[in-house]
A = this chain, B = another copy of it.
Amino acid sequence: MIEEKDLLEQIEAAIAALKYPRRATGLYRPVAYTLAGGGKRLRPMLVLMACEAVGGKVEGAVNQALAVEMFHNFTLIHDDVMDRSARRRGRPTVYRRWGDVQAILSGDALLTMAYMRLCDCAQGHEQQLLALFNRTALEVYEGQQLDTEFEHRDGVTVDEYIEMIRLKTSVLLGAACAMGAIMGGADEATVDAMYRYGEALGLAFQLRDDWLDVYGDPAVFGKNIGNDIITRKKTWLLIRATELAGDRIESAYQIQGVTGRVVAGVKAVYDSLGLSQECAALISKYALDAMNALPANLLDGYRERFVSLAIKLNDRSK
């Protein structure tokens, strides 16, 4: 079993070795900038780990790992334009640094580059990979569409929210696991099981993000606590609190003066409703769903690796 740090090194090396066309180089500068920005590399790691876990050679799935990471970074570039986000991973976003035009165009290029990688060295698996990738891509856009619509709509339910984050975040983690399994030569049932693992993992992952914004340790979390509350972002916590005690949430948002008092007021409502515990229980449920979805026929030791990952992402403090 290749150690995680060596897998990560392979991914970073493959990204660093990418060659860009020599023409219209301004198009590719934001692409290289974004890909070099790091992050957890969770999605390409899942591709390589899943490939190895079903008996495949990791080298054979590096292009598909890059494709998933490229797709993810393309969505970040475009999402940052749409959300007017100024910073990501401690640096200015592409649109802030190069403007809207460049961000739209470089994002488009990165999506096409993802397709190029996807089918590179995919002997015999092209059709299966493309069908999965295309379906997943449309679902991710649909998730982003619903996210945008929810911000302007009252009465969004917890179920609708879960379906939105499933589309926006989880399906890509599912697809990453499935693509790794496909490249490792797994049968359909194994591929499907790995997809469901990644999908459930993604739900736990996104809900933990929501939870950390309010209940994270400011010293560890790395972002300001309560940012979602201040921007009145429709997270699981806010939607659930609105379902249970909409009038009290409304009152908390009426507090005049420093934003800190609004954060404290909204958090007090969450606390009185026991939402920290309810959210944590839901995260654990999805982490367990992920573990239970794992196929029985993984190579020795790999089941434990995926179980550990689900526990780690579930318990993470940043």
Task: List chain A positions with a Cβ less than 8 A from chain B.
Answer: 21, 23-24, 26-27, 78, 81-82, 100-102, 104-105, 107-109, 111-113, 115-116, 119, 126-127, 130, 134, 137-138, 141-146, 148-149, 167
* A100 in complex: contacting residue of B24, B82, B105, B144, CB < 8 Å: B82
* A82 in complex: contacting residue of B24, B26, B104, B148, CB < 8 Å: B104
Taking the closest CB of chain B, its distance from the CB of A96, in whole angstroms, is 15
Contact A115 B101 (CB under 8 A): no
Contact A138 B21 (CB under 8 A): yes
CA A146 – CA B107 in complex, angstroms? 16
By a CB distance below 8 angstroms, the chain B residues around A81 are: 100, 104
By a CB distance below 8 angstroms, the chain B residues around A116 are: 134
Contact A24 B145 (CB under 8 A): yes
* A109 in complex: contacting residue of B107, B141, B167, CB < 8 Å: B141
Contact A21 B109 (CB under 8 A): no
**In the complex, the 6 A-B pairs of residues with the closest C-beta atoms, listed nearest first:** A24-B142, A27-B145, A24-B145, A82-B101, A112-B137, A109-B141
By a CB distance below 8 angstroms, the chain B residues around A144 are: 105
Taking the closest CB of chain B, its distance from the CB of A310, in whole angstroms, is 27
Contact A24 B108 (CB under 8 A): no
